[in-house]
Structure 1
Amino acid sequence: MQKAMVIFVAALLCVSIILPAKVSAAARVRLGNEVFLERHLDLVKGKRVGLVTNQTGVNGEGKSIIDIFAAHPEINLVALFGPEHGIDGQA
């Protein structure tokens, strides 16, 4: 019985190591700000936009969402809101 348990745990460990490697190679996590810009930009077109963010607000390439929104021609970014430590965490 104990030998069977050791074999089962070893097999489970092997599968858990191999399977995620195959899945993660094919899948790419898309961040919410990227999905928003692709699918829901019409929600803010022609409106004044306030952005709630902090220093971790970046896209998949590490570019600040503040810079992305400010440079976007269809987004009128007028206000930034952040936590008590500031948007860049330096306060």
Structure 2
Amino acid sequence: MKKIVLALSFMISSMFAHSAIMSCFDNADGTITCEGGFSDGSSATGVKFKVEKDGKIIFNTKMNEYSEVTFDKPSGNYTAIFDAGEGHQVKINGSDITE
């Protein structure tokens, strides 16, 4: 029984060993850049990224080899979403993105 508990404890702690992180900034040229990653330093290359506005996806791509995405700044309210799977999603409202 102890071995099972220890294994489960290890598996649970491994699941929470890293958290998804993302920061976005306004480039002051009509574009926004978002950088993603994980708290353990893992790369976010290839992680899904999208921008939603009024409940619709207006931009859909993946993080590049530098774990970054640059997109044209939408007008009005929008949300930038870093989606590395269940439990690893970060959303940033466009109104919170500054230079």
Higher normalized helix content (fraction of residues)? 1
Q: Highest CA radius of gyration, 1 or 2?
A: 1
Q: TM-score, normalised by structure 1?
A: 0.29
Q: TM-score, normalised by structure 2?
A: 0.27
